[in-house]
Structure 1
Amino acid sequence: MPSIKRSPSTSPSPSPPPPASTNPSTSKEQKSPKKPRTNTKTTSFPTSTSGSWTNERKTLFVNRLMETGYKNMDWKSLAEETQMTVEQCKNQMTPGRSNLRKTISEMFK
């Protein structure tokens, strides 16, 4: 195999970095020392029990689930499946009555 010689590069050589400043007013030594960071985030629940489902958390979860379900439910389809009227299905989810909603909410008290 023949050896290939490379020609010198025509690109300019990189310039050397600027010399370090000896002026004490711009040196890093004048900055105040770093303070330890404090966690500024606040959590809405204690981190030591964040993984356990207490009855209070279950109640909150189920209540939110029922509220969202009530707002987004296809009542006609549910009524057909349960062979009830739309009004009867809605009555089971109305707050403040003796109904399915109350029964489910009281399961975790």
Structure 2
Amino acid sequence: MPHLVIEYSQQLEEAISIATLVRNGQRAMSDTGLFNASAIKTRAVPYRDFALGNDEGGGNSFIHAEVRILEGRTTEQKEALSAAIFNSLCKSAPEVPEISVEVRDMQKASYSKRVPF
């Protein structure tokens, strides 16, 4: 169930391994012990066009991770999760100046999922 969506500037594909970024993010989520490792879903989404701050030309690079989890975790658990993913991204991409992580709660009442039999 938990989803890790890693957004990044497409130009990073020339400088870092996105597959490694995804694997390391997946491992960081699993290593927190908050989730069943087989339930974690991680994906990366490139952005070709973007603006950062006053740079309307999109010349800078960024990584932003959004973590979506079902409601019910404590603030401390969410802080530890955010820190684990942030540290993983920073280690995987030390040359990227803009790295951020946001943990979001999903409401159980509005989350639907098909599970295999």
* TM value normalised by structure 1: 0.23
Structure showing greater radius of gyration is 1
Q: Greater strand share, 1 or 2?
A: 2
**Which structure has more RCO (C-alpha within 8 Å, separation ≥ 6)?**
2
Q: Greater helix share, 1 or 2?
A: 1
